[in-house]
Amino acid sequence: MKNVAKSRFLLALGLASAFQFSCQRQSSAPAASAPAAPAETTTGRNFSSASVAATIYEGIEFDMPKVKETKFPNYSVPITKYGAVGDGITKNTQAFEQAINDVAAKGGGHVIIPRGLWLTGPIVLKSNIDLHAEAGSMVIFSRDFNDYPLIKTSFEGLDTYRCQSPISGMNLENVAITGEGTFDGNGDAWRPVKKSKMTDAQWKTLTKTGVLSDDGKTWYPTEKSKKADAKDNFNVPNFKTKEEFEAVKDYLRPVLLSLVNCKTVLLDGPTFQNSPAWNLHPLMCQDIILRNLNVRNPWYSQNGDGLDLESCKNALVYNNTFDVGDDAICVKSGKDEDGRRRGVPTENVIVKNNVVYHGHGGFVVGSEMSGGVKNVHVSNCTFMGTDIGLRFKSTRGRGGVVENIWISNIDMINIPTQAISFNLFYGGNSPVLEEDQKAGTEARVEKPVPVTEKTPSFKNIWMRNITVSGADEAVALQGLPEMNLQNVNLENAYLKARRGISAVDATGIALKNVKVVTEKGPALTIHNSKDINVQGLTFNQTNEPAVKVLGPLTKNVKLNNKDFTSAATQISKGKDLGKAAVSMQ
């Protein structure tokens, strides 16, 4: 009886959490164009057949292929045909499976999720299936860890074992998830939670179940989950056998949606929320469209990324809203040796018209980018309160090349750290340090090391029309001594921040028509960098020089005379600087 009571309590708690989370839903960004006339299906339901608006491909700086779009036969089956009950209590795993099999057997079409609360275990997609969640529908994934067996997969760029994802598909073609419904991953059942991220009342309620760390500062759902945390290697335990992973299975949180090696994919309309780990994870997919989505995780959710587009080719990400616990829109391509061995870059990506609320980063590249990233366009996005706005990160040992990134028309407000950040010494810390993190983890090491295949390279990045209204630091450009950050261009920017722009171990930096409004310190600091060209720099007057140039390796810094009323007092040169390192044009 005690076990029954406990099960009912956990079920009620999970449903209450899901209801509360769903009721906070933000409205999606407006669509780029009105949908075409709906097509009548065999069951009398309507589906939008809206295609990608031509404006999405406008202004792209590289040769962007038109992304192939999904098409489905005019056949549909509701999950209720196979006995699904929308009461939030009855588990409907078998009904989902049978409805998907039915539609697949007919050559494809639509699997309908009507209005209601649909509790289920994992959903496995098939080719030529559109999983359509109607308005008012909510799919709630089971809190029973036994529903999610261990499978071979990739997480955080490493080949490993994880629990099966609530929604998954592998080696599929022509697959979609559409509609206005909600998919809730019940992530609160899985995620460890730090006491520092909760109120006393929340912590008291949470700790009625689960177990605590030895120091009492972290909650775990089970003893198995706690057992693995001591062996954590960026959330991927360094085990060799499946049996070792099985012993800590509860710790191996799945991503909410896993699509691996799929072609012609559409996610259009639903809310994806409360994921156990990452929310949306397309891996090695081609021709993928993500639009009109509402992607949400609690702010305290560890590894609660919004979208991780990994080793994908030809992708459109537009008209979405993100409010998550980690990076929001993230581009990756594998980690270290596993990523280099895969050798599949993420390339040909358009990111337009997205809004990000909370998140560690608004638009992010890395840190798992060992397979490379190239040909990415980001424009017309708004970041409100993200820890960092535009975030590029990697570290020694990654390898990989990030190149040809174009970013424009970005608005940011209330950014707690850097509005624009390049960190090539990334050690895994959150931008806002938590109580168990130390800044020294990502301290810059002056001494160069040999350049090898393990050396990451970031180059050829253009940013223009950037507005920042409030940040701790405007721009931080930090490369490696042995592999400088190369050819970063910032044009037409208004940057209001407590501190200005810094460039360290960077080559080929160009600033044009950039206004920096700071509370303290210089507008621009240059250290051990070369081939710097600054034109049209404007700044507010402070008690310190507007520009500081430092470092024995600094050379060929070009400043514009017109930008200064008194160059002798507004430009500070370090004692270790070469005599010809700075010139006035």
Task: Give me the active site residues, please.
Answer: 326, 360
Helix, strand counts (H, E) of the chain: 7, 44
Rounded CA separation 372/345 (Å): 5
Indicate left, alpha or beta for 416 from its phi (over 0: left) and psi (-120 to 50: alpha): alpha
**Order of all β-strands in the sheet with 193-194:** 193-194, 218-220, 211-212
Where do the DSSP E strands lie in 319-431?
Answer: 321-323, 329-332, 346-352, 355-356, 361-365, 373-384, 388-393, 401-423
Distance of CA 102 to the CA centre of its chain: 35
Quickly tell me which residue has 């040992």 as its tokens: 397
Tokens at residue 299, please? 């702010």
CA dihedral 414, 417, 419, 420 (to 10 degrees): -170
List all residues 6 or more positions away from 277 whose beta carbon is below 8 Å from its beta carbon: 155, 187, 190, 191, 235, 253, 254, 255, 256, 303, 304, 305
Among residues 71, 83, 82, which one has the least CA distance to residue 110?
71
Q: How many CB atoms lie within 10 A of CB 9?
A: 12
List all residues 6 or more positions away from 2 whose beta carbon is below 8 Å from its beta carbon: none
> DSSP letters of 277-301?
S-SEEEES-EEEEEES-EEE--TT-
Tokens at residue 209, please? 């179940």
Radius of gyration (Cα) for the chain, nearest Å? 25
Rounded CA separation 467/56 (Å): 22
Q: Kind of pairing, strands 457-478 and 401-423?
A: parallel
116: amino acid identity, one letter: G
106: amino acid identity, one letter: K
136: amino acid identity, one letter: G
CA dihedral 50, 51, 55, 58 (to 10 degrees): 170
For residue 64, count CB atoms less than 10 angstroms from its CB and return exposed for 0-12, middle for 13-18, buried for 19 or more: middle
Tokens at residue 331, please? 């581009």
Tokens at residue 180, please? 């206005």
